[in-house]
C-alpha cells in the first residue's frame, strides 16, 4: 500500500496538515505557575519531529480557578503569550502544525496529579492562592462523594467566563497557534454545563437541552470573534458519557456549533461520573471510533477519532471506512514518538522518512536503501533479506 489516506494532506480553512496524524492534548503537569517549561519543549518537540501533522498542546486554562492541578498551563493573562509563542515556534521548526486546547476544570479543579491518587488537594502553605482557586461549576453539586461541593457560578460570572474563553483565543492567536480546540469533554466545566447531572440551574444556562448547550455555544461565538477565520476550530466532546448525554445529543450540538465556525468534533467519552463508558464493556481497539462515525454522519461535520488507536493499518482503515477525518494517537505516541514514521514504514508509504527531519530521516533513508530497512519484512532470522541488498 503506497497511497494512503493517513499520509495524505488535509486542508482545513487556511491551514494545511501534512498528514492526518494528530497528537491529542496530553497534560504534562509540568508548568510553573501556569508558564510552560523546557519539559514542554522537549515533549511536544519530539512528537513534532516524529512526523505528526498536528501537535495539540494540553488543556491550557482560561482562568486560574480552572486549573486542575499545580502543574497546569495557563492562558488567562497576556503574560503567557510570549512563552507559549516560544513553544509554538519550536514545534513549527519541526515542520508540524501546532494547536492548543483551551480548558477549565470546573468542579474537578484543585486536584492532585493522577499518579498521586486523582483526588482533591489538601491545603498546604506552598499554595498561596488557595481561596482564588476555589472550584466552581454550573451548580453546587459535587462530582462524587470523594470531591468537594463546588461553588455555583453567578449568572454574571458565567458571562465573564464566556469572555475569558474569547480572550484566551486572542492570546492563542497572538502566540501563533494554527489550531484551537475547546475542551468540552471529560466532566470538566463545559461538559458540566451540558449534563443535567451537574447542571441544575434555573436561568438560561440550565434546564432544557438547548439551555444547557448555551454556554458552549456562547463560548464558541466569543472564541470565533477573536480566532481568525482562516484558522481551524475543534471542539472535544464526550460524545457518550453514560449519564444521560449520548451520540444523539452530541450530533445535535455539533449541528448548532458548525455554523458558528466549528470545523472538527474530536470524539472522546466519559468523565462526568467516575464510571467510564467503556467500563463494564469489553475494552478494545478503536472503542470510541463508533462515536466519531455517528457524529460525522449525523451532523455532517469533520471528526477526529481517538482512543486505543495503536497501529498504522488500524488508523488507515478508520479513514478508509469514512469513520473519521483525523486520527489522534495518544498513549501510543508516548510509547513511540516516531509513530508516524513507523506507521509509514509499515504501510509501505513511499518516502517513509520524508515526514521527519533530515537530521535522522536522511540516515535512516540511506540505511533503508542498503537493505537494512526497519520494516519487519526485511528481517528474517537476523539475516538481511538477500533480495533487498543493493
Ligand atoms: C498523560 C495524558 C494526559 C492527557 N491530558 C489530556 C488533556 O489535557 N486534555 C484532554 O482532552 N485529554 C487528555 N488526555 C486524553 C487523551 O487526549 C486521549 O483522549 C486519551 O489518552 C485516549 O487516547 P489513547 O488511547 O490514544 O491514549 C490525556 C491522556 C493522557 C495519557
Residue 221 to residue 224: CA distance in whole angstroms: 5
Is 377 part of any domain?
no
Is 327 part of any domain?
yes
Atom of ligand 1 nearest to the CA of 183: 11
Place of cell 540505511: 367
Is 130 part of any domain?
yes
Is-catalytic flag, 188?
yes
Average pLDDT, the chain: 93
Q: How many domains does the chain have?
A: 1
Domain that holds residue 326: 10-338
Residue 182 to residue 164: CA distance in whole angstroms: 13
**CA 267–ligand 1 middle distance (angstroms):** 12
Q: What is the pLDDT of residues 257-275, one digit of tens each?
A: 999 999 999 999 999 998 7
Q: Is the pLDDT of residue 279 over 80?
A: no
Is 373 part of any domain?
no
Is 5 part of any domain?
no
Is 248 part of any domain?
yes
Is 368 part of any domain?
no
**CA 23–ligand 1 middle distance (angstroms):** 9
Give first-to-last CA distance, the chain, whole Å.
22
For 157, phi then psi, to 5°, come to -65, -35
Cβ(72)–Cβ(60) under 8 Å?
A: yes
* CA-nearest residue, atom 3 of ligand 1: 26
Q: What is the pLDDT of residues 146-192, one digit of tens each?
A: 999 999 999 999 999 999 999 999 999 999 999 999 999 999 999 99
The closest alpha carbon to 74, from 129, 35, 29, belongs to 35
Residue 276 to residue 257: CA distance in whole angstroms: 25
Q: Is the dihedral of CA 279, 281, 283, 285 positive or negative?
A: negative
- Model confidence at 385, pLDDT cuts 50, 70, 90, reads very low
R_g (Cα) of the chain, nearest Å: 21
Task: Please give the model's pTM, rounded to 2 decimal places.
Answer: 0.95
Average pLDDT over residues 23-43: 97
Across the strands, what pairs with 88? none
Cβ(101)–Cβ(169) under 8 Å?
A: no
Q: Is the pLDDT of residue 377 over 60?
A: no
- Model confidence at 1, pLDDT cuts 50, 70, 90, reads low
Query: Residue 275 maps to which CATH number?
Result: 3.20.20.70
Is 388 part of any domain?
no
Amino acid at each position: 500500500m503506497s497511497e494512503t489516506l493517513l499520509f495524505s494532506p488535509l486542508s482545513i480553512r487556511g491551514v494545511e496538515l501534512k498528514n492526518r496524524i494528530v497528537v491529542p492534548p496530553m497534560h504534562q503537569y509540568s508548568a510553573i505557575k501556569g508558564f510552560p517549561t523546557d519539559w514542554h519543549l522537549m515533549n511536544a518537540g519530539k512528537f513534532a519531529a516524529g512526523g505528526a501533522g498536528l501537535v495539540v498542546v494540553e488543556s491550557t486554562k482560561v482562568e486560574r480557578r480552572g486549573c486542575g492541578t499545580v502543574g497546569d498551563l495557563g492562558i488567562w493573562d497576556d503574560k503567557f503569550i510570549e512563552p507559549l509563542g516560544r513553544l509554538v515556534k519550536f514545534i513549527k521548526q519541526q515542520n508540524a502544525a501546532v494547536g492548543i486546547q483551551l480548558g477549565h476544570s470546573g468542579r474537578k479543579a484543585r486536584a492532585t496529579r493522577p499518579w498521586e491518587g486523582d483526588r482533591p488537594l489538601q491545603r498546604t502553605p506552598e499554595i498561596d492562592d488557595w481561596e482564588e482557586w476555589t472550584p466552581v461549576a454550573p451548580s453546587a453539586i459535587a462530582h462524587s462523594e470523594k470531591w468537594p461541593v463546588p461553588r455555583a457560578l453567578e449568572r454574571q460570572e458565567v458571562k465573564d467566563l464566556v469572555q475569558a474563553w474569547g480572550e484566551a483565543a486572542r492570546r492563542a492567536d497572538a502566540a501563533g497557534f494554527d489550531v484551537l480546540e475547546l475542551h468540552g469533554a471529560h466532566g470538566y466545566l463545559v461538559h458540566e454545563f451540558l449534563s443535567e447531572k451537574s447542571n441544575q440551574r434555573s436561568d438560561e444556562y440550565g434546564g432544557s437541552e438547548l439551555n444547557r448547550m448555551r454556554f458552549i455555544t456562547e463560548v464558541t461565538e466569543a472564541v470565533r470573534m477573536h480566532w481568525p477565520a482562516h484558522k481551524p476550530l475543534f471542539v472535544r466532546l464526550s460524545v457518550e458519557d453514560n449519564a444521560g448525554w449520548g451520540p444523539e445529543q452530541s450530533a445535535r450540538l455539533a449541528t448548532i456549533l458548525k455554523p458558528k465556525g466549528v470545523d472538527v468534533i474530536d470524539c472522546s467519552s466519559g468523565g462526568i461520573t467516575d464510571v467510564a463508558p467503556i467500563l463494564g464493556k469489553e475494552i478494545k481497539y478503536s472503542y470510541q471510533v463508533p462515536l466519531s462515525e455517528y457524529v460525522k454522519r449525523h451532523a455532517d461535520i469533520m471528526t477526529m477519532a481517538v482512543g486505543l488507536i495503536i497501529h498504522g493499518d488500524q488508523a488507515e482503515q478508520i479513514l478508509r471506512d469514512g469513520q473519521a477525518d483525523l486520527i489522534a494517537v495518544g498513549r501510543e505516541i508516548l510509547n513511540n514518538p516516531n509513530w508516524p514514521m513507523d506507521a509509514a514504514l509499515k504501510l509501505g508509504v513511499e518516502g517513509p522518512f520524508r515526514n521527519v527531519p533530515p537530521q535522522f530521516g536522511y540516515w535512516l533513508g540511506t540505511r533503508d536503501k542498503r537493505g537494512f530497512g526497519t520494516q519487519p519484512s526485511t528481517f528474517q532470522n537476523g539475516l538481511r533479506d538477500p533480495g533487498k541488498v543493493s
